Structure 1
């Protein structure tokens, strides 16, 4: 049996991270007790830890937060991006303190415990981040035991036994099990989320961008303060592990949204008579999920209807167009990623979470790269000739992150007949 690298537990250690190469990182455990295996990544966002933990794209991942103070605004049900957390654990620098925010209903460590997720505090997250940048995202096990008792060799074997995300289809695990209609719109301070019941009194969004103002006017008609037209364009969304805020933006842009499971067939989608099709974000390897999803996406493209993909949906859209995807060295995860729009050179600061990408050098004829990362030049957006089928690697819905790219939802809904 392989041995973990010698690294005696310091006094008071109640948590540990054991990487597949034998590296041992001690700390103070919080949240749930036990152990969990996954890919260790890092996220540079300064806010939104609850949204990150509940993003289905983080399934089978252990998130290292580079921002040192995590948990200081507590937790609340409104900020959850799915019904349950999907990241298996989190690693932080400082201990979780008492929350200081009027929206908080629970301490973050209590929220983790209630949801069966493990936290590890007291870690030099800068050193761990540098390790990931140098060697790539490793597989590892995070463990918490209040008594400080750990079988390091057993944890190492658990880490070494994890196959990794490459070749793994996780969309089936996090997708909805049956179709449903989504009705909520965006959140506003003092109002909560817009619902069909409160839509008449809900404050309407005002945009400074002329592009977005024109689009908003076209979608909502001449009454700026009124609700969208009753005959809304119908979007059918394939759920590969979606974040709720995506659907809220589609509703805010004027769409009616029906959500279907990841494994839905072409016939399943078309029987709902969509005006357009949305392909959601999600976890795992796009090539693995694409084995059943890509043939359906190709058929949907052939209908001539508008198709919009985000993150995993963007990657599988690329596969359906004939491009290839690759596993990234460390991935992009954070809320401060600069992306350049190639048509006019405009730079958008975006929210990202992905460990795979469409290989820009494999885009076939008839498919254009629309956005690129200013960090490493990787592909961040693509579009088929005609502009009715497009996708972006980043998250225009943010949550957390900037909203520079929210206009893409209006672009999509505005293209629906």
Structure 2
């Protein structure tokens, strides 16, 4: 069932002011609001026995097998303890925890007489959790009183409150009950803080407890009593749920402490028997027999514990082998991929080497090209200088001649068709030119020329410059 469109802030303020209240939720639209209010006001948990309707009706032994995930007793002694569990609405998780320690568990109804319980000769008695007000089940309180001091006792939740009343204390209804899985509790013996699961509306008033009863756990939210201990009578109790599942598991150790109380009780009974035998004069033969039984018991316990440890080790070994094989299979499956990756890596390295070589060759070509460009630049500069000089020579009145065309004319005089200076001939290269010392504007040729060619040149020059002195 779910609800919505509720003013949760208003509800919170109301609960903070008035404490826990009775409410009614219904999906029947035919019921009026007035009828719902009447239903809520007519029901109350105060003064009502809510246990008898939840408790089992017959005595039975808890025989459900404990799965491996519920095995909390690793490292235990292997001893078996008989525990009688009173069912006030007991949770199966409590029984599973006890069974994990190798306990033989007999579950009895809430009205089971204490005398019948003691006839079973149990090693310990557990008073379970349950709903409602402990003051409404006085028969349960009387049962607890009759068992106090006879065997070790462990009370949880309702069992804790019944123990508080049986020891002489009082319980009261809380303004705000404890509900949920996040309540911090301090263990006053160790100082450790445990996160606990709680679900109760009543609590024990620690100021009303007699001398010798210790408060060993305190709720850090409101300072309430969360656990009791009476070492003289081997009694312990917790207001919260150490068996909580799926958690928190901070208080799992409480079941181990209950096992230790039962061990101490067994040892005390054994010492009492030995003392009785000694007083009756049968101590010598019985002591030997007792020591023999003790040694045999220890040997069998150790063997049983070793057997359990061996079985656990075998299970762990099988699990490890299975995991190892699975990992080996995964590695085998990855080997081909690793080989392909390595081959691909080698190919990439070869391609990278080829690229580097190509880059080096291109760099060398670029260097050679740069050198060629520099040479071309030098040639261009030379050509520019020649061009400038040629322009100066063309503007001069007298030009020298290149030896090649003159030589060509010498071989074929008919090829000369000019009427002026320099006609049809290429100006001489700068290296072939010289300036006459006596004639500033006269450029000569440093070469041997035939007389008839020289004569023709002089005649041409004379016709062109009649007023110049050619000497």
TM range (shorter): 0.5 to 0.7
2: CA distance, partners of 1:216 / 1:130: 48
Structure 1, unaligned stretches of length 5 or more?
1-29, 31-118, 187-193, 195-201, 207-214, 221-228
Structure 2, unaligned stretches of length 5 or more?
267-471
Structure of larger gyration radius: 2
Q: TM-score normalized by structure 1?
A: 0.60
1:115-264 matches, within 5 Å, as 119-121=2-4, 123-125=6-8, 127-145=10-28, 148-162=29-43, 164-184=44-64, 194=67, 202=68, 205=71, 216-220=74-78, 232-264=80-112
- Give the C-alpha shift of residue 142 in structure 1: 1.6
- Give the C-alpha shift of residue 124 in structure 1: 4.9
1:18-417 matches, within 5 Å, as 30=1, 119-121=2-4, 123-125=6-8, 127-145=10-28, 148-162=29-43, 164-184=44-64, 194=67, 202=68, 205=71, 216-220=74-78, 232-289=80-137, 291-303=138-150, 305-386=151-232, 388-416=234-262, 417=266
Sort the Cα spacing of 1:205 and 1:130 in 2 relative to 1 into closer, same or farther, 3 A.
Answer: farther
User: How large is the Cα RMSD of the aligned pairs?
Assistant: 2.0
- Give the C-alpha shift of residue 239 in structure 1: 0.6
Asked if 2 retains the 8 angstrom alpha-carbon contact of 1:185 and 1:249, the reply is no
Asked if 1 retains the 8 angstrom alpha-carbon contact of 2:149 and 2:234, the reply is no
- Once the two structures are superposed, residues 31-63 of structure 1 have per-residue CA deviations (whole angstroms, 9 ceiling, x without a partner) of xxxxxxxxxxxxxxxxxxxxxxxxxxxxxxxxx
Asked if 2 retains the 8 angstrom alpha-carbon contact of 1:254 and 1:413, the reply is no
Q: TM-score normalized by structure 2?
A: 0.53
When the two structures are aligned, how many residues end up with a matched partner? 263
Matched position secondary structure for 2:52: helix
- Give the C-alpha shift of residue 401 in structure 1: 3.0
When you count strand as a share of all residues, which structure comes out higher? 1
- Give the C-alpha shift of residue 183 in structure 1: 2.7
- Give the C-alpha shift of residue 182 in structure 1: 1.1
Q: Give the match for residue 97 of structure 1.
A: none
Q: Give the match for residue 73 of structure 1.
A: none
- Give the C-alpha shift of residue 273 in structure 1: 1.9
- Give the C-alpha shift of residue 352 in structure 1: 0.3
- Once the two structures are superposed, residues 372-406 of structure 1 have per-residue CA deviations (whole angstroms, 9 ceiling, x without a partner) of 00000000000113371010000000124301001
Structure scoring higher RCO (CA < 8 A, sep ≥ 6) equals 1
- Give the C-alpha shift of residue 306 in structure 1: 0.6
